Each structure stands twice: as structure tokens, then as C-alpha cells.
Copies of this chain bind each other. A is one copy, B any other.
């Protein structure tokens, strides 16, 4: 079913977070890049079109990796089956680490953050999008509906109660981890990252023209997109 979603059919251009995500990526030319939760490998492929020197894509799903390998026959892209929490790359291995909409599935964001910090070179960039905490707060992850099925508003509850959420995604049970905006940001900063930007991407005018129904996404924040730099400055 995942392969029937707009983002799977239309490619990155049909992912709401993508235009902002792309804008926050640094110049990838000649860079060594790591993609956490690479899925079908589209971000890996994009990095290569921007002349990244090497790309490592990791994902836990063998199905997705198989499709990624089939669709991108590029010796400079290396796919590995690995949980994001289990990465163990050497220090200073990458110039850029990114992750698109995968980190809400990770229980220990603090651990991942420390590992990313370690494997980044000084001055390197960490860019990631995740489902917005306003989106993950309630396990139901759905609108409030009126008596005629109309969308009344987006309900928020249990916001400060971080942890496991049993959500439903494409009719399947999915386990997610809710964290507050504060936790995402302060965990990055506590690791030594300097925050470059914080975005809450919503559909662009171009995307709204192609998918007018996406205007509903403007009613509440759907994604959180953070870009941070491994600074050589000590925290003060």
C-alpha cells in the first residue's frame, strides 16, 4: 500500500516535506552522505544527481532495499539493512547525514543523535524531517469530524506524555514514538549541534495546484524539519 501513496507514485515532488527538505540540504557535490531510513532510495539517488561522492542508505526493510537496489544501479550508492539505532559508523565518516520521515519510528532519538554527531565531520550537517509532535501526540492521528463527516479541527491531547504510540497507517498497526518539539531540539543542542533552521513544512503552491485537497495540511503542522551543524564551537 505504501507504494500507492502519492509520495511513492509521484516521487519526491509529491512528498509534502520535500521542497523544504531539499532547500535545507547543503551543497552535496563531492560529499560523503548517509541517509537514515532510505526507503526506496530516492533521497540517495537525489544526492548522486547533486554529485555526492558516496552515499550510504540504511533501512530496516529488506523489501524497500530490494526495490531501492533495483531502481538505482549506481556503484557509489551502498545500501545496508540496519536499524537506525544500530548505526556504528566511524568518527568523521560523513559530510552530510539526512533522514526523511523516519525518526518518529525510533525510540532512542538521543542515542541516534549522539551517533550522528560522532560520524559527522566537524562542520557537517544533519538534516531530518519527522512527523510533527502535534501529529504524533494522539495515537489516533486523525481529525475530529462533525456529524456530516466534515473535518472540524485537528485534536491534540497527551502532548507532554512522550513515548510509544500505536497508530494505524494504511490499515496496518504501526508503532511510533511521540516526542515534544522541545525534546527534538534540546537533544540536538545537548549533543553539541548548532541549530541552523526549524521548519514545519506545508504544501507549496505548486503542490497545491497538483493536489488541491492538500490545503487541509495547512490547518495543522504535519512535519518538523530540523537542520543542524556539528559546530567546532564549544557549548557555552
A residues apposed to B, CB below 8 Å? 123, 134, 137-138, 144, 152-161, 180-182, 185-186, 189, 194-200, 202, 218-221, 229, 231, 233, 236
A156 and B181: CB pair below 8 A?
Answer: no
Question: Measured between alpha carbons, how far is A37 from B180 in the docked complex, in Å?
Answer: 28
Q: Please, could you name 24 A-B residue pairs with CB atoms under 8 Å apart, sorted by A?
A: A134-B156, A134-B159, A144-B144, A144-B152, A152-B155, A153-B155, A153-B156, A153-B157, A154-B155, A154-B156, A154-B159, A155-B156, A156-B220, A157-B220, A158-B219, A159-B200, A159-B221, A160-B202, A161-B218, A180-B221, A181-B198, A185-B198, A189-B195, A194-B194
Q: Which residues of B contact A198 (CB under 8 A)?
A: 181-182, 185-186
A154 and B152 in contact (CB under 8 A), knowing A198-B185, A200-B180?
no
Copies of this protein chain in the complex: 2
Report which of B157, B196, B200, B229 forms a contact with A154, defined as CB distance below 8 A.
B157
A197 and B202: CB pair below 8 A?
Answer: no
Report which of B138, B144, B195 forms a contact with A185, defined as CB distance below 8 A.
B195
CB-based nearest B residue for A232? B233
**Within the complex, what minimum Cβ distance (angstroms) separates A200 from chain B?**
5
CB-based nearest B residue for A152? B155
